[in-house]
Chains A and B, each alone.
Chain A
Amino acid sequence: MDLIVQLLIDSVLLGGLYALMSIGLSLGFGVTRIINFAHGEFVMFGAYGAFWLLALYGVDPLLSLPLLVVAGYLAGWVLFKATIEKVLNAPHLNQILLTFGIALALEHVAVVLWTGDVRSASPAYAVATFVFGDVFVVQGRLIAFAVAVLLVAGLLCWLTWAENGRAVRAIAQNRDAATLMGIDPARMYALSFAINSGLGVASGAIVSFLFNITPFMGFPVLLKAIAVVILGGLGSIPGTVAGGFILAFAETAIAYYVPDGAGWTEGIAFALIVAILIVRPRGIAGQSLA
């Protein structure tokens, strides 16, 4: 019985993180119709950013978070204008390979700069644990969850009530009609991409005190984010949030109940993707597709 409670708590805490990790990708796709294969690399750079600021200057990841988010936002804007903007109307092949190439380059910039050694950033609160009865809650995960919830809620509020949030949703639904409202599509695309990278960096900063950091962590992150986005339905932000919790639950359950489960968790994203494509490609809340 206690195991189930533990399982649920761990799933929820992880789910919040996964939701944050995937929501930027979902927004970017919803607006530009391009899957940003470099998404995972922004998370990776966020993790490294938080790590180095902690290791070199003693800055707590939670404090460096806002700074990193802004940096990620700006970097995303620049990257978009320099490269991705040029393939907005190009065939899918160009778009896919471009972001894939960017991902590859970014990953190996990190390898060249920092080698493939594994790092971890652990401020004191990261490992402290609360105990409720027989249930353990790792403080770091709780804090990560809180930050994630804050950011995700912030994004949802922005999308619902802010002028540009509304504009971004409009562009995603009908680009021409949105243009007729006076909305500049190019700016909205750049904006959504920049938000994508900003939130990616934020998730990285949080991840930095939870998991190990390597230059190669971007790729599994990307895969999980894609699984979450497909599960929730391409183009649906609330669906993505739900998908995050579902993936977290699946991984946690497997880790608990299957022998050697922790090793298999990396493959769960893959299995989920295949399963969804077979059973219900449009995901939970996505648009119909063909």
Chain B
Amino acid sequence: MSVLLRLANIHAGYGQSVVLDGLSLEIRPSEVVCLLGANGAGKTTTTRVASGLLAPWDGEISFDGVSIRDVPAHRRVALGVCLAPEGRQVFPDLTVKDNLLLGSYTPHARAIRKRSLDEVYSLFPKLSERSRQKAGLMSGGEQQMLAIGRALMGHPRLLMLDEPSLGLGPKIVFDVFAAVAKTAESGISILIVEQNAEAALSVSHRGYVLGNGRIAAAGTSAELRGSALVQEAFLGKKTSRSGKAAGNGDGSLSTLS
């Protein structure tokens, strides 16, 4: 089966601080994959490397079989890699519509802009209502929808979502992930990077667990949901093993006794 995005043995970090220490993962066409990780695990570092905002020290990145490691971030968008970044990062002083129009800046996205806009508006009706409002004035949930919609305007083949549930209440999280599931129906691949394992696993085919700077576990959603590691670290359940697992705040996972 062909691979859409491959990260192989990525080493990356900031200054003296090593965050990713040999990370490898792949995403195939038309699948939804989640990357679970605790605070500080390196989730955002991963999306920054994949999108090109951060250059890794070592490792390979390829898209559709072609290396994109030397492709600058703004060119990866044209290849079909679109990221809705951590913290939404909408353009606060621009209207919702302007934000969406910006999402389709690249020529190939611009060509089908009208159609993309209609699709995004039908996926997120709230955005249509608020199209003339300044993005900075919207609620967290609305901004998240805008961020996703904006990424979709880029006509991606791979959509990456960085912590879409961050700071949102359960109802909104449900709405957002329902929209994500709907988007997946169109056949684009989606990478969801999340702390909220419950929500992420509910829409994913399979997933990875990020710990200590690399993949600590991988499997289908069902497998991960059933695994002791995930249950303890993310789902807060005690298992037959004594003690609980917890994130250590530095991206590593360990069991406590």
State the A residues within 8 Å of B (CB): 163, 166-167, 169-170, 173-174, 176-185
Contact = CB atoms under 8 A, between A and B. Distances in A.
A170 B74 contact: no
Contact of A177 (B52, B78, B91, B101): B91
B77 interface: yes
Contacts of B94: 166, 169-170, 173
B89 A170 contact: no
Nearest to B151: A180
Interface string B86-100: 000111111000100
A178 B77 CA distance: 11
A100 B136 CA distance: 36
Identify the interface centre among A163, A167, A177, A182: most chain B CB within 10 Å of its CB.
Answer: A182
Interface residues of B, number: 29
A174 B83 CA distance: 14
B106 A177 contact: no
Contacts of B89: 174, 176-177
Nearest to B150: A181
15 contacts: A166-B98, A166-B101, A169-B93, A170-B91, A173-B94, A174-B91, A176-B89, A178-B102, A179-B73, A180-B73, A180-B82, A180-B83, A181-B103, A181-B154, A183-B74
A247 to B, nearest CB: 25
Contact of B93 (A173, A177, A181, A185): A173
Nearest to A171: B91
The 6 closest A-B pairs by CB, nearest first: A182-B77, A182-B106, A177-B89, A184-B74, A173-B91, A181-B105
B197 to A, nearest CB: 25
Interface string B1-22: 0000000000000000000000
A1 B98 CA distance: 47
A184 B71 CA distance: 12
Contacts of A185: 74
Interface in B39-73: 51-53, 72-73
B219 to A, nearest CB: 30
B85 interface: yes
A121 to B, nearest CB: 40
A225 B3 CA distance: 55
Nearest to A184: B74
Contacts of B90: 177
A184 B73 CA distance: 8
B53 A179 contact: yes
Contacts of B154: 181-182
A180 B77 contact: yes
Given A167-B105, A178-B102, 8 more contacts: A163-B110, A166-B102, A170-B102, A173-B92, A177-B85, A180-B73, A180-B151, A182-B109
